[in-house]
Amino acid sequence: MNQPGPSRRVILTDAVLIGIVLMLAGFAASTLPAFWDYLRNPADAYQRIREAGASPGVSFLLKLFLAHLMLGGLLGLAGGAVSSLLFPVSKRKSAALASTTYMVLLVSLAQARLAVLQPHFIDPFLNGRSRYIFYFLTDYIKPQWLTAAFWLLIIVSATALLIRFPRKAAIAFVLAFAVVLASFWATGIRKKAKSSGPGMNVLMIGFDSLRSDRLATEGYTRKVIPNVDALVGSGLCFPNTYVSLARTFPAMVSILSSEYPHTHGVRYMFPRRETRYQKRVTLASVLSEKGYHTSVLSDYAGEMFGDIDLGFSRRSVPQAFSLPIVIRREILIRQILLLPFINNRTGRKIFPTLDFLPINSDPRVLGKRLRDEIAATPPGKNFFIFAFFSASHAPYASVYPYYKMYTDPEYKGAKRYSARLERLEQIHEVASSRETSAQEQKNIIALYDGSLRSIDDELGATIKYLEAVGLKQKTLVVILSDHGEHFYEYGTLLGHGDQLTGGDGDLRIPLVLNGPRILEGREIRQRIREIDLAPTILEILGIKAPSSFEGRSALLFLIGQEWKDRPIFAETGIWLDPAASFSSERLLYPSLEETLEADPADNYVIVLKKKYNDVVIEAKHRMLLMWPYKLVYMPLVKGARFSLYNEVDDPGNSNDISQADPERTRQMKGNLIDWMTSQPGWVWEDEHLVPKVQK
Report pLDDT for 629.
98
Going by DSSP bridges, is the β-strand pair 629-635/622-626 parallel, antiparallel, or unpaired?
Answer: antiparallel
Number of H helices, E strands in the chain: 22, 19
Region 82-106 average pLDDT:
90
pLDDT digit string, tens, across residues 211-250: 999 999 999 999 999 999 999 999 999 999 999 999 999 9
Nearest to 537 by CA among 230, 280, 233, 284: 284
Distance from the Cα of residue 63 to its chain's centroid = 25
Q: Which residues pair with 387 in a beta bridge?
A: 205, 297
Q: Is the pLDDT of residue 171 over 90?
A: no
Q: What is the 3-state secondary structure (H, E, C) of 390-455?
A: CCCCCCCCCCCCHHHCCCCCCCCCCCCCCCCCCCHHHHHHHHHCCCCCHHHHHHHHHHHHHHHHHH
Q: Is the pLDDT of residue 312 over 80?
A: yes
Cβ atoms of residues 397 and 358 within 8 Å: yes
Cβ atoms of residues 82 and 75 within 8 Å: no
* Angle formed at CA 319 by CA 317 and CA 321, multiple of 5 degrees: 120
Cβ atoms of residues 119 and 138 within 8 Å: yes
Q: Which residue has better confidence, 346 or 342?
A: 342
Assess whether the previous peptide bond of 516 is cis (omega < 30° from 0): no
Name the helix (H) or strand (E) containing 596. Answer: strand 596-599
Q: Is the pLDDT of residue 595 over 60?
A: yes
Report pLDDT for 44.
46
Report pLDDT for 37.
60
Q: Where are the alpha helices (DSSP H) in 485-525?
A: none
Q: Is the pLDDT of residue 356 over 80?
A: yes
Q: Is the pLDDT of residue 18 over 50?
A: yes
Cβ atoms of residues 196 and 292 within 8 Å: no
Report pLDDT for 125.
81
Q: Is the pLDDT of residue 258 over 60?
A: yes
Region 143-156 average pLDDT:
93
Instruction: State the maximum Cα–Cα separation within the chain, in Å, rounded to a whole number.
Output: 102
Query: How far, in Å, are 17, 359, 576 from residue 56 at the CA level?
Result: 28, 20, 25
Region 409-428 average pLDDT:
73
Residue 3 carries which DSSP code? -
Query: How far, in Å, are 120, 125, 243, 306 from residue 249 at the CA level?
Result: 25, 32, 12, 11
Q: Where are the alpha helices (DSSP H) in 469-544?
A: 533-541
Distance in angstroms (rounded) separating the CA atoms of residues 244 and 260: 7
Q: Could you give the count of Cα atoms lying within 13 Å of 43 in the half-sphere of its Cβ?
A: 1
Report pLDDT for 35.
64
Q: Is the pLDDT of residue 112 over 50?
A: yes
Region of poorest pLDDT, from 317-331, 508-522, 659-673: 317-331
Q: Is the pLDDT of residue 648 over 60?
A: yes
Using pLDDT thresholds of 50, 70 and 90, give the confidence band for residue 115. Answer: very high
- CATH architecture assigned to 583-691: 2-Layer Sandwich (3.30)
- Tell me the domain boundaries of the chain: 6-187, 201-321+358-565, 583-691
Using pLDDT thresholds of 50, 70 and 90, give the confidence band for residue 185. Answer: very low
Q: Where are the alpha helices (DSSP H) in 6-142?
A: 6-40, 45-52, 58-86, 92-117, 130-140
Report pLDDT for 412.
87
Distance in angstroms (rounded) separating the CA atoms of residues 483 and 589: 24
Q: Is the pLDDT of residue 498 over 80?
A: yes
Q: Which residue has better confidence, 264 or 170?
A: 264
Region 200-216 average pLDDT:
97
Q: Write the single-letter amino acid at 353.
A: T
* Angle formed at CA 654 by CA 653 and CA 656, multiple of 5 degrees: 85
Cβ atoms of residues 200 and 291 within 8 Å: no
Region 115-138 average pLDDT:
87
Q: Is the pLDDT of residue 361 over 50?
A: yes
Which residues neighbour 98 within 8 Å (Cβ) at sequence distance 6 or greater? Answer: 79, 82, 83, 86, 87
Region 258-281 average pLDDT:
95
Name the helix (H) or strand (E) containing 204. Answer: strand 201-207
Region of poorest pLDDT, from 146-155, 175-184, 394-403, 635-644: 175-184
Report pLDDT for 593.
82
Report pLDDT for 650.
96
Report pLDDT for 45.
46
Q: Is the pLDDT of residue 430 over 60?
A: no
Residue 48 carries which DSSP code? H
How does the average pLDDT of the chain come out, rounded?
88
Region of poorest pLDDT, from 434-448, 474-488, 512-526: 434-448
Nearest to 321 by CA among 367, 362, 355: 355
Region 188-194 average pLDDT:
55
Q: Which residue has better confidence, 548 or 50?
A: 548
Which residues neighbour 401 within 8 Å (Cβ) at sequence distance 6 or greater? Answer: none
Cβ atoms of residues 668 and 568 within 8 Å: no
* Neighbour order of strands in the sheet with 622-626: 568-571, 622-626, 629-635, 640-646
pLDDT digit string, tens, across residues 23-55: 999 999 888 776 666 555 544 444 454 444 455
pLDDT digit string, tens, across residues 275-308: 999 999 999 999 999 999 999 999 999 999 999 9
DSSP string for residues in 259-287: --HHHH---SSS--HHHHTS----HHHHH
Q: Could you give the count of Cα atoms lying within 13 Å of 421 in the half-sphere of its Cβ?
A: 24
Region of poorest pLDDT, from 11-20, 166-175, 179-188: 179-188
Using pLDDT thresholds of 50, 70 and 90, give the confidence band for residue 92. Answer: confident
CATH 3.40.720.10 fits 201-321+358-565, yes or no: yes
Region 537-541 average pLDDT:
96
Query: How far, in Å, are 292, 480, 547, 677 from residue 289 at the CA level?
Result: 7, 24, 16, 33
Residue 142 carries which DSSP code? -
Distance in angstroms (rounded) separating the CA atoms of residues 504 and 487: 11
Percent of the chain whose predicted confidence (pLDDT) is above 70: 87
Nearest to 250 by CA among 258, 259, 263, 261: 261
Residue 546 carries which DSSP code? P
Tell me if residue 614 falls in helix, strand or coil.
Answer: helix
